[in-house]
Amino acid sequence: MRIITRGDVDGIMCATLLRAVGIAHEMVQAHPKDVQDGKISVTADDIVCNLPYLPECGMWFDHHISEESEGRAPEQFKGAYGLAPSAARLVYEYFIKEYPELKRFENFLKVVDRFDSATLTKDDVKNPSGAMLLAFIIDPRTGLGYKHDYTISNKQLTDMMPDLLLKHSPEEILQMADIKQRVDYYFESQKAAAVLYARYSQLKGTVIVTDFREVAEIPPANRFLVYILPGFETATVSVRLSIVRGGGKVSIQVGSNIFNPCKVNIGQLMAEYGGGGHKGAGTCQMLTSELDKTLIEIVKRLSI
């Protein structure tokens, strides 16, 4: 069977577990927006993970609350849907009784749970190591994909990651040349990223608005970096704006401050604007011409 999932650490862990139990072999990366817009075709031989439900799929695993709130979760399907720290956790729980050998992934899965649900410490953000560092390296929101002079592309890296996780520990993977190249660059870019976030971010009440629409190149950065920068300690949520390449659209990424959480259900709020997500994080896209008015609305609704 084929796995259709996001190219993030949760999606990659889903693919790793499904390959470990021997029911899937090929991973196809997809964005939730492509699923919502009907751009992804599936069959009964496909397993959809960490993405909105597609009626034609053979199995479905997801934990994004906006699916249920918009009535898109079916009454009957093969797989698992529900509140969980990660979609990979649902895959694990679904198969663990029949495949107890999956327990060897438990330690990394715990990190995936913490990473995907953003239950991190400030030290995780400042000084990530081991499995947590690998999660940040894999995470597309870190921004490593903006750099194009690696020996292999980010897509190639994420495509090969399930095979690596089946055979090696996170610590061993971090020492591999293709990965270490990214690790070194990640740490080098943190100081530059901190300066950039400070320059392009404004605190509007309790909302940090970071406008990267005019920034040609964003240094790779820990996605929680902005919450530990001086001057933003009172913020409860961040809104990051960036241009969607070739579409005349703006991507809006909203995240609750994991150290001072926002009270608003962000996933449900983003679903109202055609996106989705979790209680603590979500995204949506819109036409550039609609941004100014909508941004004012979103900031106001987040300021509770």
Amino acid residing at 238:
S
Q: Which of the two residues, 38 and 67, has the higher pLDDT score?
A: 38
State the Cα–Cα distance between residues 90 and 50, nearest whole angstrom. Answer: 10
Q: Residue 149 above 90 pLDDT? A: no
- Out of 70-79, 100-109, 144-153, which region has the weakest mean confidence (pLDDT)? 70-79
CATH 3.10.310.30 fits 201-302, yes or no: yes
In terms of Cβ atoms closer than 10 Å to its own Cβ (0-12, 13-18, 19+), residue 22 is exposed
Question: What pLDDT shows up at residue 68?
Answer: 46
Q: What DSSP letter does each residue of 68-93 carry, written as one string?
A: HHTT-S-SS-SEEES--S-HHHHHHH
- Please count the other Cβ atoms lying within 10 Å of the Cβ belonging to residue 25: 12
Residue with tokens 């749970």: 113
pTM of the model: 0.79
Confidence class of residue 145 from pLDDT cuts 50, 70 and 90?
confident
Task: Sheet containing 46-49: give its strands across.
Answer: 26-29, 2-5, 46-49, 59-62, 79-81
Task: Dump pLDDT digits (tens) for 268-280.
Answer: 999 999 998 878 8
Among 34-43, 60-69, 226-235, name the most confident range. 226-235
Read off the pLDDT of each residue in 74-101 and give the average, rounded to a whole number: 92
Is the pLDDT score of 66 beyond 60? no
Q: Are 217 and 223 in contact (CB under 8 A)?
A: no
Mean pLDDT (whole number) for 23-50: 87
Distance CA 124, CA 176 (A): 22
Tokens found for residue 283: 């995204």
In sequence order, which residues have a C-beta less than 8 Å from that of residue 199 and are 6 or more positions away? none
Instruction: Say if residues 183 and 133 touch (Cβ distance below 8 Å).
Output: yes
Q: What is the mean pLDDT of residues 81-85?
A: 89
- pLDDT surpasses 70 at 151: yes
In this structure, the strands spanning 46-49 and 207-211 are unpaired
pLDDT of residue 67: 45
**pLDDT bracket for residue 225 (50, 70, 90):** very high
Residue 69: pLDDT band (50, 70, 90) is: very low
**Cα separations (Å) of 182 from 96, 112, 214, 240, 289?**
33, 19, 25, 23, 36
Mean pLDDT of 250-269: 94
Strands 201-204 and 276-277: unpaired
Average pLDDT over the chain, rounded to whole?
Answer: 91
Asked if residue 141 has pLDDT above 80, the reply is yes
Burial 244-253 (b: 16+ CB within 10 A, else e): eeeeebbbbb
Q: Does position 291 have pLDDT exceeding 60, yes or no?
A: yes
Q: Residues 161-211: pLDDT tens digits?
A: 999 999 999 999 999 999 999 999 999 998 899 999 999 999 999 999 999
Q: How far apart are CA 238 and CA 191, in angstroms?
A: 20
